[in-house]
Structure 1
Amino acid sequence: MVDTQREIERKYEAATGDDLPDLTAVGGVRAVVDQGTAELDATYYDTADARLADASLTLRRRTGGKDAGWHLKLPVAEGVRDEIRAPLSDTVPAHLRDLVRSRVRGAALVPVVRLRSSRATRHLLDADGTLLAEISLDRVHAERLSGGTGTADWTEIEVELADNGDPAFLDKVDKKLRKAGVRRSSAASKLARALEETGGRPGPAAPGTHRPPTDTPPATAGDHVLAYVRAQRDALVALDPSVRRDLFDSVHSMRVATRRLRSTFRSFGTVLDRRVTDPVAEDLKWLAGELGVDRDREVLTEHLTRAVSELPGPLVGGPVRNRLRAWSDARRGGSRRRLISVLDGERYLCLLDALDALITEPPLLKAAVKDPGKVLTRAVHKDFHKVAELIGRALDLPPGHDRNIALHEARKKAKRTRYAAEATTPALGRPARALLTSMKSLQTLLGEHQDSVLVRDALLELSALADKARESSFTYGVLYGREEQRAAAAEAALPEVWRTLRAATPF
């Protein structure tokens, strides 16, 4: 059995002989209840080159205390982590191993640090006896198991917010602790401190792996493009556990990262050699397609559900909502299993390795070492004028199938130009930001139109299913007509919107 806990906590330094400060005066606290002392023994696992630690992930096997077992901690925000737990076993549970697969790839997970802690715990309760937070004093002994041979000892205070608690309560505790002379810990976690104090981080990463970039600001055109590529690669890797956990918007966010990478390779073909990037782009296109199997139908279902709810009652004939729900769920289970198999598959892992290699040894062309102002402006200018050409071509066509296709192509190009502007904003500043704003507006309008096309296709499919089941298809026809009106409104607004955006765009 695996369960997840949202952990919101703060850590503080404490002297070896310290005890827990008196927190009875903290606002809202009516009682401080001693929970006794527990002896905890945790072994932390990582790759030999610390890929999990570099990403602020911790994987441990712990005995003692009330939550003995395997714990994987994934960062959510500063001071906030999701702790995914699994029962005790001799080896890393398969589910937890899968959640770090995008980081670990084929490397072995080995014991790196052992932490033995004596934890004195108190509960902070309100007037109703409800738990507000747990405060503990940990006396820690760290022993390096691999990558070093040192040991270290320290004492720290940890304050963890109760489930569904108000994070503002931690500010009240923080104020009281600071008045008592206690200061915040400089280490993000016990593991981070243990690594630093028992031999530091491991040596250089193995080939094909990645470490956080240096703080050196980008100077050349190549620097700026690679910084953007690196950010999207990092997003892909970081989103992998969220997609596996089926968290809200994670699939969409990962899909966007693949699009940004593909767009960057195409837009900046004078900077990065497309003979190298094109095969990577093909695999990114494949991954985006796999990610989209559920997402596209999910978006259509949300839109149609909302549209049905807005119809007057007499216009809803037959089991429309049930039909829509069945249509939405038809492939959900199978496609979900397929997506997980994709993330576990060789092609996906090879894609991540290829992105690492591309960043480690980038296929830079001559323009990469030149002034970013000229090189990047030229690339963005080219993309923008392609959008203008496609918009003009679409507006010259009569309403119908061919215009729908032309507007869809213009939308895709606007999206690519938007990503190019996004990538060049650090170098080009205001002009790139202006273009980014314009392309977002254009993409929204063209997206409305394309959504109406896809919704109408879905309505035809739903209507055919209803007819086959001898159900009324009247409602689908009503919705189809409304979608036609939505598309017509977008097309009618496009010429004026485009003139305004073009006048405001400095390219």
Structure 2
Amino acid sequence: MVTQQVEIERKYDVPGHDRPELALHELEGFTVGEPVEHDMSATYYDTADLQLARAKVALRRRRGGSDDGWHVKYQTGDARGEIHHEPLKTAPTRIPAALRKVLLGLTLGEELTPVATIDTHRTEYPVLGAQGQDAELCLDAVTARDERAGVTRAWFECEVELSRHDLGDEQARTVFDAVEAVLFAAGARTSSSVAKIARALGQDGGDVVRVVEAPGEGKDEDGALSTSGTRLAKNKKVSKDKAKKKAKDKTKSASKGKSKDKSAGKDKGRAASSGKGKDAQKRETSEQPKRTGADVLAAVLDRLVGELQSWDFAVRLGAADSVHQLRVRSRTLRSVLQASRGFISPEVGSDLEKRLKLLARVLGDARDQEVARERLDALLDAQSADLVSATAARELREAAEHRGDDAARAVRRELDSPAYLQLLRDLRELSRGEGITDEAAQLSPKRFAKTVLGAALNRVLSTAATTATTAPEDPEEVTVSTMAAVVGERVSIPGKDARQTAVAFEVLHETRKAAKSARYVSEALAHAHAKAGKKRIRAAVVAKDYQDDLGVVTDAAVMEEWLARVARSLQRTGRDRYAVGLLHGIELSDLRNGLLEAPEILEDLVEDLQETLPEKH
């Protein structure tokens, strides 16, 4: 059985080698129940290049505690989530198929092998409020072995997780504040770690984590961490022996401080005589390789491919807005490839652009269903019950749900396809520099950024200027999409025939896509700290502002087509079509008005861009 839950928790580091003494009797407003202790052992799996760890995802097989089984742990913002597969029927190395499928976009089908083994002695304290258990405080003594490096590390940490999901924000804050006060008093601090696996692999931890065994060495003098239970401290006095030792150490420290002061001058003199002069430091800096346009492009692609894979994982989890975000990342990648055509091998770039376009179609269909559903709710809410009955509204919402489910299934099929996984592998290769040309390496980051963003903005200008005020002399020369052709047939514009109307919509739609691309490229370069110049960046903002105005028209076209399809479906089944006809008429009117305003919008866009951009762009 596979279950999924969102955990609301906070983690804390506990410095030192000894278990902390927690004054849990001082927990303000709460009491603490009887502690329960568990010994747990978990084996963590990842790819050879740690793709799961990079995505802040952990796959483990754990025994002990209250949740034996396979777990996939992940982090989204401040909340942590977990997928739990139980029971442990399979062999230790056989990962359940359901979990492998969820992780496929991250692992790309690569073999998952053990990378760490983590043994935890956990003491759980139920935090009790007026209505029962509100949270659980866990104190963990952790010993972790990096299986590949042969290093064993150890540390203490605390975790507070809410037990009730019906607590309001203020109630949750009260629980956390009360527990934190006790933890901070015992020397704990907010954790810097994402997960235990990161510390097991030596990726973080600072002074909290200590190495107790390394290759070729035995355990340190303290050995493994003590796992005896935490005492509830009640005004305990420091023993006389400890007090004497503390005073003695303090005296030694003071005497050392004096000797340090005396030798400080000598040390400074030696440092000055042996230190490097400014000229030497300058030479050392100049010897470091300078960042190039190729480095910027690789960094941009690496980040975007990583985000694409992360949103792939979110789609497989069924996370809200994940299809939209996955589509945005795929379109951003395609936009960067288009704007960087002079810096990527033509064969590689052209092939990847085509495959990303095919992916965008599948994701676009699903996104259109999401837009239609949101717009449908707004339309229905605006109608009185006299015009649209409750039955008609329910049937329309059911139709939207069914169409959305069909589109979601199509997305999942696409994400599981060999062609899609190969696309991710090829994009990953390009992000490593395979296919980036020498021309990119010859440019500075700034010159590269100016060139690439300039190309994206020129595309906006050339597209918008195609028919800013009038259609081309021969509309037959313009290739239009299926959506544009449908708009031409259904919307009547004074002075235009169906073909000219279709071309006008196509120009508007393509201009909006070009404006989005310019925005995506500008944002991608900013993330890579590549400055494209103030004027070009400002021009990208201008294009973004017009993107929303143009989007009103394209969204109306999407909704009009959706309602027309639903109307045909209702006709086949003999159901009432009055409500859908009413809404369809509203959308047709909005679409027509948008097309009438479009020439002026495009004119203003061209004018504003030309004023904002530098003369040579």
Please report the TM-score for the alignment, with normalisation by the length of structure 2: 0.72
- Give the partner amino acid of 1:47: T
- CA RMSD in angstroms comes to 2.8
- Partner of 1:381 in structure 2? 454
- Partner of 2:162 in structure 1? 161
CA contact (8 A) 1:367 1:375 kept: no
- Give the partner amino acid of 1:134: E
Deviations 1:282-320 (A, max 9, x none): 221122222233322232132123212212233226953
Correspondence 1:400-479 to 2 at 5 A: 400-425=501-526, 426=529, 427-428=531-532, 430-479=534-583
1:83 aligns with 2:91: no
SS across alignment from 1:401: helix
Distance 1:482 1:49, change over 3 A: closer
Q: Name the CA distance, whole Å, in 2 between partners of 1:227 and 1:26.
A: 48
CA contact (8 A) 2:348 2:435 kept: yes
CA contact (8 A) 2:469 2:600 kept: no
Distance 1:236 1:119, change over 3 A: same
- Partner of 1:170 in structure 2? 176
- Partner of 1:210 in structure 2? none
Query: Based on CA coordinates, which of the two structures has the bigger radius of gyration?
Result: 2
Deviations 1:398-441 (A, max 9, x none): 56333112211222222222222223444125334422322222
SS across alignment from 1:270: helix
1:6 aligns with 2:3: no
Distance 1:460 1:129, change over 3 A: closer
- Partner of 2:299 in structure 1? 227
Q: Name the CA distance, whole Å, in 1 between partners of 2:398 and 2:289.
A: 52
- Partner of 1:342 in structure 2? 414
Deviations 1:341-376 (A, max 9, x none): 322221111111101110112423344121344443
Q: Name the CA distance, whole Å, in 1 between partners of 2:393 and 2:596.
A: 32
- Partner of 1:46 in structure 2? 46
CA deviation after TM superposition for structure 1 residue 141, in Å: 2.8
Task: Out of 165-174 and 86-95, give the one that drifted further.
Answer: 165-174
CA contact (8 A) 1:20 1:137 kept: no
2:98 to 92, 95, 119: 95
- Partner of 2:71 in structure 1? 71
Structure 1: stretches of 5+ with no match in the other structure: 201-215
CA deviation after TM superposition for structure 1 residue 126, in Å: 1.9
CA deviation after TM superposition for structure 1 residue 450, in Å: 1.1
- Partner of 2:194 in structure 1? 188
- Partner of 2:185 in structure 1? 179
CA deviation after TM superposition for structure 1 residue 456, in Å: 1.8
- Partner of 2:125 in structure 1? 122
- Give the partner amino acid of 1:83: E
Q: Name the CA distance, whole Å, in 2 between partners of 1:82 and 1:345.
A: 26
Deviations 1:197-242 (A, max 9, x none): 4669xxxxxxxxxxxxxxx999433333332222210111111221
Q: Name the CA distance, whole Å, in 1 between partners of 2:431 and 2:587.
A: 44
- Partner of 2:140 in structure 1? 138
Q: Name the CA distance, whole Å, in 1 between partners of 2:291 and 2:121.
A: 50
CA deviation after TM superposition for structure 1 residue 44, in Å: 1.7
SS across alignment from 1:483: helix
CA deviation after TM superposition for structure 1 residue 67, in Å: 1.4
1:395 to 441, 466, 469: 469
CA contact (8 A) 2:447 2:532 kept: no
Q: Name the CA distance, whole Å, in 2 between partners of 1:383 and 1:243.
A: 29
CA contact (8 A) 2:337 2:349 kept: yes
Q: Name the CA distance, whole Å, in 2 between partners of 1:75 and 1:296.
A: 28
CA contact (8 A) 1:424 1:432 kept: no
Correspondence 1:285-364 to 2 at 5 A: 285-316=357-388, 319-364=391-436
CA contact (8 A) 2:294 2:433 kept: no
- Give the partner amino acid of 1:346: P
1:105 to 105, 108, 129: 108
Task: Out of 370-379 and 92-101, give the one that drifted further.
Answer: 370-379
Q: How many residue pairs get matched?
A: 488
- Give the partner amino acid of 1:381: G
Deviations 1:55-101 (A, max 9, x none): 332111112211121111012135x3211111123332212112222
- Give the partner amino acid of 1:388: L
CA deviation after TM superposition for structure 1 residue 150, in Å: 3.4
Deviations 1:240-265 (A, max 9, x none): 22111211110111011110111111
1:270 aligns with 2:349: no
Aligned-residue identity in percent: 30
- Give the partner amino acid of 2:189: R
Distance 1:382 1:14, change over 3 A: closer
Distance 1:136 1:308, change over 3 A: closer
SS across alignment from 2:26: coil
Please report the TM-score for the alignment, with normalisation by the length of structure 1: 0.87
CA deviation after TM superposition for structure 1 residue 504, in Å: 4.8
CA contact (8 A) 1:42 1:114 kept: yes
- Partner of 1:151 in structure 2? 152
Q: Name the CA distance, whole Å, in 2 between partners of 1:134 and 1:217.
A: 51
Q: Name the CA distance, whole Å, in 1 between partners of 2:388 and 2:32.
A: 58
CA deviation after TM superposition for structure 1 residue 122, in Å: 0.7
Q: Name the CA distance, whole Å, in 2 between partners of 1:186 and 1:465.
A: 55
1:246 to 318, 322, 335: 318
- Partner of 1:23 in structure 2? 24
